[in-house]
Structure 1
Amino acid sequence: MAPPTAQTAISTPLVHKPTEYLTHAKIEELSELHIFLLVREGFALKDVQAMIALSELYLSSKLIERITGKLGRTKQGKGVESTTGRLSSLQSAIAFQYAKVLEHATTVFGALQLAEEWLAKPCRRFDDNTPLDLAGNPVGFQVVENYLERVELGIYQ
């Protein structure tokens, strides 16, 4: 799938990159080990919610439920917020994958709106799955990241 074709998308600059909401630092300043340690500790739920709030797509796809594996409301009427204030290491790794994909796609396509359009659109390269659906799985995340790297280099096949 080639990059989105809308050339006039409004580019509202993000105050913070998606990964910065989770790590509280610029990703370029962190080693992979430091990121691993932050993920293992578990991201604060409020930071994950702030990252998700950056994207209309992430909000409308109920990404918090994809990350936590829980519905927004339980039978007792308690929301996801009623869980511990931190995500598990596995949930944090998934949240980080979604943050990285959104960040990378925004860089590649030049605007958040174009990145969201691409993430939500089924792609023949991904067997008609959406990049968003792939991003929640470690192997799928790598497939999407590799594809974005190829787009950055101008290789669309």
Structure 2
Amino acid sequence: MVNAARRADKTALAARKPTEYLLRSDPGLLSPTMVYKLTAEGFEMKDVQDMLSISDLYSAEKVLTRIVGKSARTIQRQSKGNQTVRLSSVQSAVAFQFATLLERATKVFGTQMLAEEWLGRPCRYLEGEIPLDVVSNPVGFQVVNDCLERIEYGVYQ
């Protein structure tokens, strides 16, 4: 019963795209320069946590610690109180990469569940690396994005 309620909550949350949590707007309505400015300003920690909460994989793999580069305990300690915690521009860029990748993989595979399954498994195109493990590096993000594009267009070589 609890799992069904949790799934219903996640479905309601997933109605928004991951990047919409970070940008607080439909990314299609923003220019690339505006997305850059929002990233440079730094996303609010709460928005990043909300984005990550829609993904079982991102929650289970502790992606927030990868984005922030700090332990979960440190993040909790810094998030206490009424102050708004903002990520740095670099941390925000990494958060945006994770959000963009989840959206792209969901589009390619049709469902978020299939996308997360692919993101969490070793990939031959990535020479056995797990896509989720290489996303925080800009070059790794581009390689995973290229792989998704090849899958989308049926080019596997």
The residue type paired with residue 104 of structure 2 is H
| Structure 1 stretch displaced more, 82-91 or 18-27 | 82-91
Q: Which runs of 4+ in 1 moved over 4 A?
A: none
Task: Tell whether the 8 Å contact from 1:72 to 1:80 is kept in structure 2 after alignment.
Answer: no
Q: Which has the higher helix share?
A: 2
**Over residues 48-90 of structure 1, what are the superposed CA-to-partner deviations in whole Å (9 max), with x where a residue is unaligned?**
000000100000010110000000114xx95352496100000
- Structure 1: how far apart are the matches of 2:78 and 2:119? 25
Question: The residue matched to 1:79 in structure 2 has which SS?
Answer: helix
Corresponding position of 1:31: 31
User: What code does the residue aligned with 1:103 have?
Assistant: E
**Given the two structures, how large is their TM-score scaled by the length of structure 1?**
0.86
What residue ranges of structure 1 are gaps of 5+ in the alignment? 1-11
- Aligned-residue Cα RMSD (Å) equals 1.7
Q: Report the counterpart of residue 79 of structure 1 in structure 2.
A: 77
State the Cα distance separating 1:102 from its structure 2 match. 0.3
Which runs of no fewer than 5 residues in structure 2 stay unpaired?
1-10
How many Å separate the matches in 1 of 2:100 and 2:138? 12
2-structure distance, mates of 1:89, 1:124: 32
- The within-5 A match list for 1:1-157 is 14-74=14-74, 79-82=77-80, 85-157=85-157
Task: Give the Cα–Cα distance (whole angstroms) in 1 for the partners of residues 115 and 89 of structure 2.
Answer: 27
TM-score, length of structure 2 as denominator length = 0.86
Distance (Å, rounded) in 1 between the aligned partners of 2:132 and 2:144: 9
Q: How many residues align?
A: 144
Greater relative contact order (Cα < 8 A, sep 6+): 1
The answer as to whether partners of 2:78 and 2:85 remain within 8 angstroms in 1 is no
